[in-house]
A and B are shown apart, each in its own frame.
Chain A
């Protein structure tokens, strides 16, 4: 089966006052129809930039974005428009994702109008249909965004993304701004839509528990690059990159027996400035296992098991034990937790 979305060596560059910055630096992955790829990493690591490049909101600096084999990274304007209906986006901030002056009906009809779909009454029907799908009363269509709660606005944003029946939706932290009880509603809605419409999600989040809940495959980003990518079972069973392990270790869990966090398990320091990333492994400054090799030479993303790729010298350097992740000598951030 060929992939719905294939991203190859994608780079996104911004010119800033402090110099140019490669927010996404050589990212490759693929996503199959009807599946969910979770993208995790600390804020500033380039998740949104990657999502926006795929959505063609920002222009990629280099690389390819293939949707069903068509490189939409190189199309522009008139040529891109017909493809746009295939991929849509849901944004993080429910307060900013709707035009405050536009009634919900207008906001939802807009995609149909831009793509010249249907006549007036057909558009109205479609608005009713999709509003019902996302759990909104169709009578609410004539309200303005400020008359809705945050969770309802996120439903509207999802409805707008659904209007053109896309095969891919990029969800950029769609529940991060919501309270737990609303998060559950939106996450369930996304899961239901995937089950009924076969939509694929690129699901961006900094919340690992949400990603574990939703994603079939997970990519972990650090400073513009993917450091580990694996299927659900493999990633959670045997996270292989020290950064992935540190991230997992840091997530507060509803387990009071962990009271009194163990200092030694904490990941020290902050994300380095993206303007001049460290040479060698970008994680070396915070990694407790860093060696000279790590500081001098960047590790390449390499498969350690089928479908499970990691960028870390521990797994790939010549003197590392064969078998990578399974090697017993591998230092492990999670040692205490894995013995459950």
Chain B
């Protein structure tokens, strides 16, 4: 009897169960990507949470001489920018902004994408056609351009930026979920639910939705990474929230000094890189963990 089919450890509960069943978290350790990713993410979150404690003041205030290179002045381990602001403080406060935007945008994309995907996949026919046409519309537009237009229209606040990024990202999720939902809808246990007289809503919520989420777990972390990058691009272009600080706007601000003081762009750039990398690694690691290539009996 092959038991390989019905193990879609979709929801977090499923993952947890799997991890717990693994003796000594062997598999988790086996997936080095996931471990490194989680460590990176933990570091960024720790910095974001402790930013207020470590640097209680406004990071936009001038703190010392402008253009101090990192490692020269002990008060400014990461140096100061061209306005004499503490790079370390700015970096720490930006971490929160980037994470917030990334997670908020990804959440929005997930909510819309999952809902659209499940409905399209389950009902098929006209519902499917309409929803998929709409998602194609979103996908054919260059997403950064679309995001920019939205931000310009809505005004540059953290909320509107998150909204603009999230609303352009949902189609990828919708397609993933739809493919799963189409598969699940054909399985006998869905038919069995029909023969009980269960309504569509209940069937979707109870059977189809939970069993269609497996690929989303992986996609979600990659989505956060994408959203952080998009946010950075927006800030770099000067479309970021003028009241907040972000790594993207720091890169943008440091750009004119690239030749003389490259650390001003390299430090926030590196932070973006590491954070995005962290989420990507988590995504890949989860993928290895949830879809092991070795057949499960």
Contacts and interface: CB of A to CB of B under 8 A. Distances in A.
Do A and B bind?
Answer: yes
Interface of A: 52, 55-57, 80-81, 84-85, 87-89, 91-93, 95-102, 110-111, 114-115, 145-146, 149-150, 157, 160, 164
A91 B191 contact: yes
B42 interface: no
Given A99-B211, A101-B14, A150-B1, A84 B197 contact: yes
Contacts of A91: 188, 191-192
B196 A110 contact: yes
A239 B67 CA distance: 98
Given A81-B197, A99-B211, A89 B6 contact: no
A89 B197 contact: no
B238 interface: no
B197 A96 contact: no
Interface in B180-231: 187-189, 191-198, 202, 206-207, 210-211
A100 B195 contact: no
Contacts of B187: 96-97
A99 B207 contact: yes
Contacts of B198: 110, 114
Interface of B: 1-3, 5-8, 10-11, 14, 187-189, 191-198, 202, 206-207, 210-211
A95 B6 contact: yes
Contacts of B207: 99, 102
Contacts of B14: 101
A55 B7 contact: no
A89 B195 contact: yes
B197 A97 contact: no
9 contacts: A96-B5, A96-B187, A96-B188, A97-B187, A99-B207, A99-B211, A101-B8, A102-B207, A110-B193
A52 B3 contact: no
A84 B188 contact: no
B196 A99 contact: no
B188 A97 contact: yes
A224 to B, nearest CB: 20
Contacts of B11: 101
Contacts of A80: 197
Contact of B191 (A57, A102, A146): A57
Contact of B6 (A115, A145, A157): A145
Nearest to A145: B6
Contacts of B189: 96-99
Given A146-B6, A146-B7, A149-B1, A97 B192 contact: yes
Contacts of A92: 188
A95 B5 contact: yes
Contacts of B202: 114
Nearest to A150: B1
A89 B207 CA distance: 18
B1 A89 contact: no
